[in-house]
Chains A and B, each alone.
Chain A
Amino acid sequence: MRKLKLLIISVMSIVIITGCWDKVEIDKRAFVALIGIDKFENNADQKKDKKNRYTVTIAYPNTGVIAGKGQGEPKFIYTSTGENFSDIINGLNTRLGKTTFFRHTKAIILGEKLAKDEKLFREVLDVIERSPELGRKIHLIIAKGEAKEILDTSTKDETVLGLFIRELMEQTRKTPRIADADLGYILRSLHESHTAITPKIVSSKDEFKIAGAAVLKDFKMIGWLGELETKDLMFMQDKIKSSEMNVVKDDIIIALRITDVSTKMRVYEEEGEIVTHFDVDGEANIQQHLFEVRDQPLDHEYLEKIGNLAAGNIKEEIKTTYKKIQDDYQADLVQAGESLRKHEPDTWDKVKENWDEIFPTTKVKVDVKIKVRRAGVTK
């Protein structure tokens, strides 16, 4: 009997004393889908005693509308300012009447000004990395302009902005114009080589577009990459799933879809110079040729020629973009240094001290092989 009493007391104390401490019913949580962080702009109405540095905007969906139960706005947007991120979130909790919950956050959008401010940007990156709630699969996107504008955009399509952005990011499977870079890659890349790219987001009145990339170096944003340059960079980083390409042959514009691309990068020392070698291997489908041109698209030699043309195009583009990265940004976005460290440690030991100066002088070699496999359906 004594034993039983003791058992009951100990079990109850486990359950009652330690239980329930982090219990929040699912309907009492605000599922923050999207976070926008901006640098606080110093304007006249700020009181002197307040040291506002950030403007944080969060968007969370009205779950009642999603379940087809409630009415009202499909999403709630709150903005607050403060000295640091966690202050702001705690402050927001007092306004929301719900507990903010970041496990389902799909994207964090940073304003351009914030990204260019090294101190603030490093703070934000640390908050993001340190948080156990934010997964490594979410997207860190830099907005042209203010992040708040993006969150204020009311899209026609999806009510949950974060989900919409996730859907947009999924399009990296279709087009390489969106930089395929999730938080995990960005953090790793920043740790390893102090450089990275993030996707870029631009908003207009009632829609926004994710395309191109922002270049990060030494923990701040130093410039943009255009859509096509982003594509070339994706080729270099072996992140292409599918891409488009036009080649002109005998005055016929042939639209190709490049698939199954794999890129092998090798960095080595040759005659005192560091060489970055890209070996691109891919397949192509013919998307468009010309009506009633028979035999050609089925002729092996012809297809081979088209493949070679496409390969030549890719080769040139990669070379150009590599040069641009070297000249304009001096940023080792292809992680050539990291490759060197892993595969040629002896060479790396010689150059690692001043890699930032050496990278812009590295040579690039590109080998591209594109095989046209499918000519499509005719007749």
Chain B
Amino acid sequence: MNFFEELFENKEEPLKKIEVEKDYKKNLEIIKEYIGGSKDVIFREFTIGNEKIKCGAIYTEGLANQDLVSEHILKNLMLLSRMAEIKTHTIKQKIYELLKNMTISATDISEIEDINKAIDAILSGDTVLILENHDKVLVVASKGWPMRGVGEPSTETVVRGPRDGFTETMRVNTALVRRRIRDPKFKVKQMQVGRRSKTDIAIMFIEETVNKDVLEMVKERLDKIDIDVILESGYIEQLIEDNWKSPFPQIQHTQRPDVVAAAIYEGRVAIVVDNTPFVLLAPSTAVTFLQSPEDYNERFFIGSAIRILRVISIIMALFMPGLYIAITSYHPGMLPTDLALYIAGSRMNVPFPAFIEAFIMEAALELLREAGIRLPGAIGATIGIVGGLVLGQAAVEAGIVSPLMVIIVALTAIAGYSAPNYSFAISFRLLRFMLMALAGFLGLYGIILGSIIILTHLCTLKSFGVPYLSPIVAGEMTLKDFKDVFVRAPIHMMKTRPQFLHRSDSTRLKEMRRGDRHGEK
């Protein structure tokens, strides 16, 4: 048994097994006792063929595809089975084989002995058939419920790149990734989490490239979860992340199948949670949060330039208001004279100290953003205009804030939005307030203190055993990894996968001579 089979081996039986009995009526009673009384669980009793074998079909309305149930199960059993020329006396003994091989024309059919499992199957959309005088029940896969189609993701939009995004159905999501990875070593392992919700979770990886330590850690942490309900992948993320006290996200989430596929190829592990379009990627480092699929789709000049811009903008979003406060309140000597005089003049008659002024504006900005998100699209835009333009303009004209402050706030807002990952950007937004307070009390000294605190924290932070700042600071730092950090090297130069994930098969690109690339000798 290899590593992967051992890891995903089903070690324990969660519930007491209830054996299926020979008695048809009794079986039906047991199931009814468990899930009866709900209007959406349908019990359909009928007889099969000429022999009038009693049979019951149980499925959940809305979760099971009713066309499939009526066309391929009920119709076949009730009508078509009569046409099958079978000797009467064999029917009773071989009813199962008969049904499976000759009558039911649904794709997936299996036989189970445990009523608990049957109930699980019914509740996840399958149809269960109970036969007279048979000590096994048949489960016919008939899942089919109304679902949102594959549409363009609302976050992480790109100009150049695929437009499909994950949906709320896990199976669709795994299929979207599978389409991009035809490698036979690509595995989708499945498990259920949630005592009551029994949410399906799929763990996806490529056996040959995955970092086994990370995979083991993921599985172990998922196994430890004992919660009644998992509604969104955020629950999983918060339950398995390394450090819950850190403001930085340690697991990346994405709506884009191409991002997930790329991550899996790099040797990371994807966790798909049912009922949410957000797929988790582990491990994630600060660098991965700054990468956008567009960096790779565009040519490397543009990709690199945008990457650099993004790093700068993240730093700007973190430091700008703090620097404004520190410099105007403590160190105006650092500014060029003309600028210092202008700022002093424009702040004339502003009733608040720089810290309060900045705080009011930044808080107003966060408020606007929150209001804009919660409101429906059209009104959201109105809020933006009213808040951004009218309020800002009025505040400046009333002399409550200086025009430079408005510029700074607007710049930080834009800079903050440029991070491709929403939760990563949020953490910087929070830290910005900390730096503002420190700058208000201690000036530049405070900003330096704050930066030291943040850096120290980042240096100690790990995501599934991988240092958060790798490959910038890491024990196994290699220069090769810097090809995909601040710049994105041309693809023909990125010959290895990121080393900080330390997997076995690291070759991404086989040796390629310049001549080959240009189609010449």
Contacts and interface: CB of A to CB of B under 8 A. Distances in A.
A293 interface: no
Contacts of B348: 27, 63-64, 67, 69-70
Contact of A67 (B342, B353, B438): B342
B352 to A, nearest CB: 9
Interface string B335-369: 00110111111111110011000000000000000
Contacts of B330: 22-24
Interface string B440-464: 1111001000000000000000000
Q: Which of A66, A70, A101 is packed against the most chain B CB atoms within 10 Å?
A: A66
Interface in B66-85: none
Contacts of A27: 344-345, 347-350
Q: Which of B340, B345, B350 has the most CB of A within 10 A?
A: B345
Interface in A157-177: 160, 162-163
Contact of B442 (A15, A24, A29): A15
A33 B348 CA distance: 18
Nearest to A160: B341
Interface in B415-446: 437-438, 440-443, 446
Most buried by A among B333, B344, B350, B437: B344
A161 B269 CA distance: 66
A16 B342 CA distance: 31
B442 A18 contact: yes
A169 to B, nearest CB: 13
B341 A31 contact: yes
A26 interface: yes
Contacts of B354: 25-26
A124 B508 CA distance: 70
Residue in A18, A26, A163 whose Cβ sees the most chain B Cβ within 10 Å: A26
B329 A26 contact: yes
Contacts of A327: none
B328 interface: yes
A117 interface: no
Contacts of A66: 341-342, 345
A31 B340 CA distance: 9
Contacts of B341: 31, 61, 63, 66-67, 104, 160
Given A15-B438, A23-B443, A24-B329, A31 B345 contact: no
Given A67-B348, A133-B333, A104 B441 contact: no
B332 interface: yes
Interface string A1-43: 0000000000000011011101111110101010000000000
Contacts of B333: 101, 103-104, 133
18 contacts: A15-B438, A15-B441, A19-B440, A20-B441, A23-B330, A24-B330, A25-B328, A25-B329, A26-B347, A29-B332, A31-B341, A63-B341, A64-B345, A66-B341, A69-B348, A70-B348, A104-B340, A104-B341
A24 B329 CA distance: 5
A101 B337 contact: no
A18 B446 CA distance: 11
A65 interface: yes
Contact of A16 (B350, B438, B441): B441
Contact of A31 (B344, B441, B442): B344
Given A15-B438, A25-B354, A69 B346 contact: yes
Contacts of B349: 27, 69
A306 B182 CA distance: 82
B183 to A, nearest CB: 49
Contacts of A19: 440-442, 446
A63 B337 CA distance: 11
Contacts of B342: 63, 66-67
A101 B337 CA distance: 12
B435 to A, nearest CB: 13
A106 interface: yes
B345 A69 contact: yes
B452 to A, nearest CB: 13
Contacts of B338: 163
B345 A70 contact: yes
A32 to B, nearest CB: 11
Contact of A163 (B329, B337, B437): B337
Contacts of A67: 341-342, 344-346, 348
B353 A63 contact: no
A67 to B, nearest CB: 3
Contacts, number: 87
A19 B330 CA distance: 11
Interface in A176-224: none
Interface residues of A, number: 31
Interface string A53-89: 0000000010111111110000000000000000000
Interface string A229-241: 0000000000000
Nearest to B346: A67
A63 B344 contact: yes
Contacts of B440: 19
Nearest to A159: B341
Contacts of A23: 329-330, 353, 443
A-B residue pairs, 5 tightest by C-beta: A67-B345, A103-B333, A19-B441, A63-B345, A63-B344
Given A19-B442, A23-B329, A104 B337 contact: yes
Contacts of B441: 15-16, 19-20
A20 B441 CA distance: 5
A104 B334 CA distance: 9
A22 B326 CA distance: 11
Residue from A67, A69, A70, A163 whose CB has the most chain B CB atoms within 10 Å = A67
A70 B437 CA distance: 31
Given A27-B347, A162-B337, 13 more contacts: A19-B442, A23-B353, A24-B329, A25-B328, A27-B344, A31-B344, A64-B348, A66-B342, A67-B341, A67-B348, A70-B348, A104-B332, A160-B341
A66 B341 CA distance: 7
Interface string A133-156: 100000000000000000000000
A364 B306 CA distance: 62
Contacts of A24: 329-330
Nearest to A27: B347
Contacts of A33: 337
A70 B342 CA distance: 12
The CB with the most chain B CB atoms within 10 A, among A20, A27, A69, is that of: A27
A23 B341 CA distance: 17
Interface string B181-222: 000000000000000000000000000000000000000000
A25 B340 contact: no
Interface string B105-141: 0000000000000000000000000000000000000
A101 B332 contact: yes
Interface string B468-479: 000000000000
Nearest to A67: B345
A25 B347 contact: yes
A65 B348 CA distance: 10
Nearest to B338: A163
A63 B338 CA distance: 10
Given A69-B348, A163-B337, A25 B343 contact: no
A318 B450 CA distance: 58
A96 to B, nearest CB: 14
Nearest to B437: A15
Nearest to A19: B441
A106 B337 contact: yes
Contact of A65 (B329, B343, B345, B438): B345
B174 to A, nearest CB: 43
Contacts of A31: 332, 337, 340-341, 344
Contacts of B353: 23, 25
Contacts of B438: 15
Contacts of A61: 341
Nearest to B327: A26
